[in-house]
A and B are shown apart, each in its own frame.
Chain A
């Protein structure tokens, strides 16, 4: 597929729920060791849509995404009428129906426009960007791209997790909640950052999923299946390799030399994993833009949080490349940005 016409990032907004939860709070609530979290996960704080003290769910994914979306619209100075389509990527929709994207649209006053929701893990935001970029290029319209995840459903605050299976335990200390949004349009206005390329490729033929999130209905709600499962060994092994391939594939397609790269937005698995991947990618000339140590792994919000950090420092003519890996069914994802 050839990508000829650019789409431009006009503005961006993010939303993190409540106050940050630090490792001491998390360790206490889950009955695990604070040191273990620090050493093996390397994440310092995260945010939860469920109130950590009371257990009450304070925000839905739609609330967070709408909040991010509103910030993005406001930053662009756009009203709802300026938006021609909405694309959202998430692994954790509030309900299977209606799609969360439509609740977000409702909160933002959007109507009479196409909406899309892509069911995906960490690559969902990139997939949404890919679809949005295609729509901008083909229709000349302006779109709102959304991504976010919440783990309220799985954040069971019980103090006996010390005995949980490692494949389950890891999820509690890894994840957080959040959402992001970007306005993508055909003209270089606002932030005026060109989306030069987007990569989205399934590479999981015959490969066992690295991560599984089940969903339950009336008939199987009491099944003893583990709701969230992570093959962290496979992930530790697979993701760094895939990340390097994504980086070099994008650079090659763009015709960019590695020393022309000003910023690198690496996969945000956890503080520890991200540092390891960055070391292996070995692009010392590019400034690393990461957020996972402060935000936790909040899935499809991550690329927006990273890009928000990027936009604060990116100057005219600078280039950035983002790499994301979805380890469920092994999806390669990434995108390239250049500020005009």
Chain B
């Protein structure tokens, strides 16, 4: 038996804006029934206590709040199109997005997948209103209505290519949709399925029908199985569940609310009247579901009944249940129905029950059923093996089995058997070492305003309930991605994170620091530091905290040990001062540089350009595949050993003057030379100490600033000469060519294609000057976006900044201070993520942290409302668009130069007649106000234009700008990138026309 897992859900029901509120409503036995809101219809006009022609007997029901609110911009749907859309389509879109996030899926990651969409729906009231107003039918009104479009919209906007269909079996629609979704999963038609139900009432027609048929409760409330039951009250709602095959859900580490063991659907056939329920068919559908699920009726702990609260309906439903459960009188089955809280949500009734059952199994408690306290004695429930759920029912530990019924008028019955999610395997506790608990919290959004809103939503959720920080961050890296503006914040403490999210939402400077709208992917240059940056115990905090770094440093240590006879890791762990001796410093720095670079690569930070300062070139060469790790280990060990063996008496002098000014002064000194040119005014001399002293005097006389370096030997000087022959012997046979652009500090330039890093190169490297400034300038000219320094502490970043790099270049270091560890590595990844990199986040987290947890789903904007004037007798509809003014009265804007900031858009941007006309036409066709448009607005992506609206725009512009003549579609297509481009096109067209006119 293969089971279906409910892995994600979201909903909106009367009195409950989301799933959490829904559960709270149920647990407090809340009553969500109220008067008909004025925007649905006029309760007074369409109801009278006694009913009568064209009247309902009640002006009450379960209505959701704000059915008119829709974040059209998020889905890039123009206001005009949004206004023409059935609100059921809009609610489903938002709910589906949130349910997918709840399932631990970044919705955009499903694009192109075979994900199926199954929507249960029975109310088409919006269409009845709009498709009969013949004069006002537009293309948008056409696609804005119809059952099919509810499912197809979801598939379209999320780019889902699996089955997509709407189901109408009256009140059982959404459970039948779940049935079809489960079958599609089990048959392999799709791997993920969205199953949903929706019901928004904008017409009193069904209320009048229920009244005329004698089924309408005068107080608008369903009172399931109660002595007070007197008919149906109508309710609204939308609910979405995300379904997977259980084995797939578990394999993908998704959290499971509950499993669906089996579903069954049947029909009354030619029963006792078309609309009457049928006891035998109901019994048969229960039996079929139990059989398929492999459960005995006695195993079913509780059932969420259909429970409309009509005398006949309750009677037949309990008789059918009783036929199967009567024998368990000593341990009766618990029965309830959510209709007592919400009313009958019709097309959404099945999914309302499904979400209630799933949450009950998940929370191990079944909410009390409203009105159950006064049980209907006529139902004789005790004899049927049934008890009503009069108080919350705590479920036993382990697996509980539950049933769920949904029956449709007209005779299509559905039943589902659900069970608790399988228990997670208990792992022995792992005590987290300090510094390994946190991660990087990420969020993405389409606009700065949306980002702020969602930062606050996440902060609120964090304040409500504790979640493990590592899991929270990892989940955010997986789920909260895909939008243009990227936010990232390293986090080490949950309450500090929540405070920081709030602060970023409220402070533009902070937001700018942590968020960015990248225009491309980063092009990173790795700069490897040379001797001088070493220190006892360097990088050991990172070694303790990051398993990835530990692995790579251990690998370098293992490669070096045969050549050294001692361990770099042991040297560093012991914080041995010996690290400053060149025989130790060179291999230790090589090991650290190699391990840091490999760590970066494992995190997804790939170098596009490489440069190494002096011995830094060894690790750079390994990353460039010009040396193997073993070759480099052999060379660097020998290099350090031979240099340390050279006699003392050498020194180095850093002079703050250009190389050219110094050269004449040392021209006749064969025992010293230029060791490094680190910048336009930063030159290092190296060689014999006595000669250096003499030169220093001369330099002093020339008023040049200088600093003596603490070194054991005169590196990169003529004094290295005695070791060259032996080193060349060690290097013999080395002949690698870098596979990446390699900016050689020996040559002071980019190596030419095929130019090797061979034995001669490395031998020359020993005494050659380090031409850092030239090499780095050449590297900067290649246009990296980021310079990532590889070494135990920053030094090259400062040198690079003195070369006056192009504005916008970021210099980063994984270990900015000596105390740096894993959190700083996280900070570096956070910055690169903001700037467009998609890091391999997994490497940042321990295995136990790489587990999904549920985050607050996306918080949609409530700034825009789309509604219709309520119906009157023989009235006509009229679409309206209202935009709630944003608090600061401005739209969010993103400028191009890496900075997220708010700038009021506006009509000022459109100067000149042509620009004004084009902007006005775009605004009119899309239904935008001019304030919502900017030159950067993209017609497809931001404004939701399509082939239909495009033709309209073209026609409008031909009228508004007659001099431009007829513009063909092929002419127009290339200029639709942004509004600015479109305006430029029409301006040019208009100028040509003017020129032609002046010539004539």
1/0 per residue, CB under 8 A from A, across B451-473: the answer is 00000000000000111100100
In whole angstroms, how far apart are the Cα atoms of A338 and B993 in the complex? Answer: 94
Known: A67-B466, A107-B465, A109-B465. A77 touches B427 (CB 8 A): yes
In whole angstroms, how far apart are the Cα atoms of A80 and B23 in the complex? Answer: 15
Do A112 and B362 touch (CB < 8 A)? no
1/0 per residue, CB under 8 A from B, across A53-83: the answer is 0000000000100110011101111111110
Do B397 and A84 touch (CB < 8 A)? yes
Give the distance to chain B from A191, nearest Cβ to Cβ, in Å.
6
Task: Specify which chain B residues have a CB less than 8 angstroms from the CB of A23 in the assembled complex.
Answer: none
Do A190 and B362 touch (CB < 8 A)? no
Do B431 and A308 touch (CB < 8 A)? yes
Task: Specify which chain A residues have a CB less than 8 angstroms from the CB of B430 in the assembled complex.
Answer: 75
Kindly identify which residue among A81, A189, A191 contacts B363, using a CB–CB cutoff of 8 Å: A81
Q: Counting CB contacts under 8 A, is B996 at the interface?
A: no
Kindly identify which residue among B364, B365, B426 contacts A77, using a CB–CB cutoff of 8 Å: B426
Kindly identify which residue among B27, B392, B424, B426 contacts A10, using a CB–CB cutoff of 8 Å: B426
Task: Specify which chain A residues have a CB less than 8 angstroms from the CB of B467 in the assembled complex.
Answer: 70
Do B392 and A112 touch (CB < 8 A)? yes
Nearest B-chain residue to A192, judged by Cβ:
B428
Give the distance to chain A from B870, nearest Cβ to Cβ, in Å.
40
Give the distance to chain A from B920, nearest Cβ to Cβ, in Å.
53
Q: Counting CB contacts under 8 A, is A162 at the interface?
A: no
Give the distance to chain B from A9, nearest Cβ to Cβ, in Å.
10
Q: Counting CB contacts under 8 A, is A100 at the interface?
A: no
Residues in B384-424 with C-beta less than 8 Å from chain A = 392, 394, 397, 423-424
Task: Specify which chain B residues have a CB less than 8 angstroms from the CB of A108 in the assembled complex.
Answer: 465-466
Q: Counting CB contacts under 8 A, is A312 at the interface?
A: yes
1/0 per residue, CB under 8 A from A, across B421-458: the answer is 00111111111000000000000000000000000000
1/0 per residue, CB under 8 A from B, across A1-23: the answer is 00000000011110000000000
Q: Counting CB contacts under 8 A, is A241 at the interface?
A: no
In whole angstroms, how far apart are the Cα atoms of A107 and B394 in the complex? Answer: 20
Nearest B-chain residue to A112, judged by Cβ:
B365
In whole angstroms, how far apart are the Cα atoms of A74 and B426 in the complex? Answer: 10
Residues in A152-181 with C-beta less than 8 Å from chain B = none
Nearest A-chain residue to B437, judged by Cβ:
A71
Task: Specify which chain A residues have a CB less than 8 angstroms from the CB of B425 in the assembled complex.
Answer: 77
Q: Counting CB contacts under 8 A, is A141 at the interface?
A: yes
Residues in A243-274 with C-beta less than 8 Å from chain B = none
Do B397 and A190 touch (CB < 8 A)? no
Task: Specify which chain A residues have a CB less than 8 angstroms from the CB of B363 in the assembled complex.
Answer: 80-81, 111-112
Task: Specify which chain B residues have a CB less than 8 angstroms from the CB of A298 in the assembled complex.
Answer: none
Nearest B-chain residue to A139, judged by Cβ:
B397
Kindly identify which residue among B27, B431, B471 contacts A111, using a CB–CB cutoff of 8 Å: B27
Do A112 and B468 touch (CB < 8 A)? no
Task: Specify which chain A residues have a CB less than 8 angstroms from the CB of B392 in the assembled complex.
Answer: 112
Kindly identify which residue among A81, A191, A192 contacts B364, using a CB–CB cutoff of 8 Å: A81
Do B397 and A77 touch (CB < 8 A)? no
In whole angstroms, how far apart are the Cα atoms of A35 and B427 in the complex? Answer: 45
Kindly identify which residue among B394, B427, B468, B471 contacts A190, using a CB–CB cutoff of 8 Å: B427
Give the distance to chain B from A19, nearest Cβ to Cβ, in Å.
11
Q: Counting CB contacts under 8 A, is A227 at the interface?
A: no
In whole angstroms, how far apart are the Cα atoms of A141 and B365 in the complex? Answer: 15
Give the distance to chain A from B498, nearest Cβ to Cβ, in Å.
12
Q: Counting CB contacts under 8 A, is A92 at the interface?
A: no
Give the distance to chain B from A324, nearest Cβ to Cβ, in Å.
22
Nearest A-chain residue to B431, judged by Cβ:
A312
Q: Counting CB contacts under 8 A, is A238 at the interface?
A: no
Give the distance to chain B from A143, nearest Cβ to Cβ, in Å.
11
Q: Counting CB contacts under 8 A, is A90 at the interface?
A: no
Task: Specify which chain B residues have a CB less than 8 angstroms from the CB of A77 in the assembled complex.
Answer: 424-427
Do B428 and A191 touch (CB < 8 A)? yes
Do A190 and B428 touch (CB < 8 A)? yes
In whole angstroms, how far apart are the Cα atoms of A67 and B468 in the complex? Answer: 9
Task: Specify which chain A residues have a CB less than 8 angstroms from the CB of B466 in the assembled complex.
Answer: 66-67, 70, 107-109
Do B364 and A76 touch (CB < 8 A)? no
Task: Specify which chain B residues have a CB less than 8 angstroms from the CB of A285 in the assembled complex.
Answer: none
Kindly identify which residue among B394, B397, B428 contacts A142, using a CB–CB cutoff of 8 Å: B397
Kindly identify which residue among A140, A308, A312 contacts B397, using a CB–CB cutoff of 8 Å: A140
1/0 per residue, CB under 8 A from B, across A130-142: the answer is 0000000000111
Task: Specify which chain A residues have a CB less than 8 angstroms from the CB of B428 in the assembled complex.
Answer: 75, 190-192
Task: Specify which chain B residues have a CB less than 8 angstroms from the CB of A107 in the assembled complex.
Answer: 465-466
In whole angstroms, how far apart are the Cα atoms of A13 and B431 in the complex? Answer: 8
Task: Specify which chain B residues have a CB less than 8 angstroms from the CB of A111 in the assembled complex.
Answer: 27, 363, 365
Give the distance to chain B from A181, nearest Cβ to Cβ, in Å.
11
Do A82 and B397 touch (CB < 8 A)? yes
Kindly identify which residue among A70, A82, A112 contacts B394, using a CB–CB cutoff of 8 Å: A112
Interface-centre pick from B397, B425, B430 (highest chain A CB count, 10 A): B397
Do A74 and B468 touch (CB < 8 A)? yes
Task: Specify which chain A residues have a CB less than 8 angstroms from the CB of B364 in the assembled complex.
Answer: 81-82
Do B397 and A141 touch (CB < 8 A)? yes
In whole angstroms, how far apart are the Cα atoms of A66 and B365 in the complex? Answer: 22
Task: Specify which chain B residues have a CB less than 8 angstroms from the CB of A311 in the assembled complex.
Answer: 429, 431
Do A70 and B424 touch (CB < 8 A)? no
Do A191 and B429 touch (CB < 8 A)? yes
In whole angstroms, how far apart are the Cα atoms of A312 and B430 in the complex? Answer: 9
Task: Specify which chain B residues have a CB less than 8 angstroms from the CB of A72 in the assembled complex.
Answer: 429
Task: Specify which chain A residues have a CB less than 8 angstroms from the CB of B397 in the assembled complex.
Answer: 82, 84, 140-142
Nearest B-chain residue to A189, judged by Cβ:
B426
Task: Specify which chain B residues have a CB less than 8 angstroms from the CB of A189 in the assembled complex.
Answer: 426
Give the distance to chain A from B61, nearest Cβ to Cβ, in Å.
30
Q: Residues of A at under 8 Å CB distance from B?
A: 10-13, 63, 66-67, 70-72, 74-82, 84, 107-109, 111-113, 140-142, 189-192, 308, 311-312
Those 6 A-B pairs whose CB atoms lie nearest each other, nearest first: A75-B429, A189-B426, A81-B364, A70-B466, A77-B424, A190-B426
Selected A-B contacts with CB under 8 Å, 16 pairs: A10-B426, A66-B466, A72-B429, A75-B427, A76-B429, A78-B424, A78-B426, A81-B363, A82-B397, A108-B466, A111-B363, A112-B365, A140-B397, A190-B428, A191-B429, A312-B431
Interface contacts beyond A82-B364, A112-B27: sample of 12 additional A-B pairs, CB < 8 Å, sorted by A: A11-B429, A75-B427, A75-B430, A76-B426, A77-B427, A78-B424, A81-B363, A108-B465, A111-B27, A111-B365, A112-B363, A112-B365
